[in-house]
Amino acid sequence: MAEQVILNLPDRLAKQVHEVAALTQRKLEDVLIEWLDRGSLGEIAIRDLPDEQILKLCDLQLSELEQTQMSLLLEKQRESMLQQGELEQLDGLLQVYRRGMVRKAEALKVAVGRGLRARLG
C-alpha cells in the first residue's frame, strides 16, 4: 500500500531533483523515492549528477588541513606513538579518504562515459 505525502522542498533540493529527473528521464517522484529508499538524500548516485558536479568530483581532494593532519598522524603511527584519540582521528580521516577515492573513481568513469574527460592511459 502506498501513502501519499506532500512535501515543500527547499529550492536547492528541488533544483537537484529536477536536474536528476531530466538527466535520467524519470519522474520527480521516482527520483525522490529512490533517494529515500537509499536512506540518504546527500548520497545521490553519481551517474545521476549533472556534468558540472561530476567534474567537481573528478577533482576531489582532501582539504589542506585534512591532508596535514593525516600526514602527521601517519608519521606518528609509523613511530608507534599514536594515542587512542589520535588513532580514532586517523581512522576517521582514512575513511573519508577512501570514500572520496571511490566516489572520485566512479565520477571519472561517468565523466569518460559522457565524453567530459579523456580515458586515462
pTM of the model: 0.61
The pLDDT of residue 72: 94
In total, the chain counts a number of residues equal to 121
**Calpha distance 41→34 (Å, rounded):** 9
The pLDDT of residue 12: 81
Q: How far does the chain reach from its first CA to its final CA, in angstroms?
A: 51
Name the nearest CA neighbour of 107 among 59, 57, 60. Answer: 57
Q: What are phi and psi of 49, to 5 degrees?
A: -80, 150
Asked if 73 contacts 89 with a C-beta cutoff of 8 angstroms, the reply is yes
The pLDDT of residue 111: 96
Tens digit of pLDDT at every position of the chain (121 positions): 788 889 898 888 888 888 877 776 788 888 788 777 765 545 678 888 889 989 999 998 988 988 999 999 999 999 999 898 888 888 888 888 988 898 899 999 999 999 999 998 7
The pLDDT of residue 100: 86
